Structure 1
Amino acid sequence: MSETQRERGLALVTGASSGIGFELAKCAAERGYDLLVVADDERILSAVSAFTVRGVKATPVIADLATPAGIESVVKAIATQGRPVDLLMANAGQGLGDAFLDQDLLRVQRVINTNISGTVALVHHVGNLMRSSGSGRILLTGSIAGFMPGSFQAVYNATKAFINSFALALRDELTDTGVTVTCLMPGPTDTEFFERAGMLDTPVGQGKKDDPTFVAEVGFDAMMKGDGDVVSGWKNKIVTAVANVTPAGVLAKHHRQMAEPQKT
């Protein structure tokens, strides 16, 4: 490893082939970090051209974080770098629309394995490396969806409730270790999420969404400041404030209005 690479630092970004993860990787590259960028599809191979600015190096890794083999692929890729991971942006996630009992169980389990199991496994590995070195920053992509029961998006919202809680608990555990944890909680964002989740026929899928570049910049800046959590956008801040004082049953009915497929 060259002296220049050592000075630049290394950022690991999951779900980096598109959307918020892609923009997070760009944020890191623009600030001079070399990259390990991970996605479960081959588009990550072409995405790296957008990250190689200012002489940074971007290494793509195709890995399905819903599987132990995918996690192992990322762990091996980290080891081959021969240097610490300075920034971990655990952004990979999947959604799934429709009523829970009408969903394919294998797809349900894949959402859980990607959003929770894979994220936890990767954070456990990298977090231990960071704690041992006494420095590092972790950004977890949660969601304002984690503040409300997600009728017609029940499993996804539940996984984001887990991530929101997990991030803040881990942050407290790592107090005084030199490692910070930040949770980014966006609202609906203009990415491929709703198409991949089969939610284009829903009000939320068809409605106005936030710019992923803006969301990523908010999250990245909060991580670099060492903030505990950040909700991107003032409208989403209002949503979370209201959700904290609204009965769960009311929230579930409201979510149904946003996420229930429109009848044709």
Structure 2
Amino acid sequence: MTDRKAELARNLAVVQDRIRAACAAADRDPDEVTLIVVTKTHPAEDVRALYELGVRQVAENRDQDAAPKAAACADLSLNWHFVGQLQTNKARSVLGYADEVQSVDRPRLVSALSAAAVRREREVGCLIQVALDAESGARGARGGVAPDGVEELAAAVAGAEGLRLDGVMTVAPLAGPYAGRQRAAFERLVEISSRLRADHPAANMVSAGMSSDLEEAVQAGATHVRVGTAVLGVRPRLG
């Protein structure tokens, strides 16, 4: 085992232990929580090492980094999640590799993703990104739709050809009433998810929590946590 692979193995074990401990504290089954490793800016070699260590869910937030990396790992059975803010003109490229787009936050993006999915003759999962720092009708500072816009956007995704509504996602806000209150923010997301499932029972994914706050997310009820730094270390600077 290379030094880098051994480092990743140690880090991965620590994160998995954190998830198990958080589940125990919340009286949840650890199998209810899926770890997505965010590999942004790290090389394809790291993705391959993670695959050998059992990781199957990986995420990226920039298409210009993700597309060549996904191509370099095309022989691996990975589920790729796109988690960054997405321009409509990048939809076609992203749907060349992404199995799940977690950052759906406006109708124009739904239309662009649907057109790209139909063109590629495939179905892609979508999460509605919820901005808990956004006023009614606005988008959040880090992307996402205001809570009162979730229902309408979800209906658009559910009715779009080639797309599958899988649930909701959020990033802990840096401003607004939930700033510094990660647990409360994630509990609010779970409430929104519960309401969404009344009309869309299969949309049961709740993606929340990162390296610094995965425990709060798990205890609030998240089904997926997105962890990068705690597994891969500090990200290299972008060129």
Normalised by the length of structure 2, the TM-score is 0.37
Give 1 or 2 for the bigger CA radius of gyration: 1
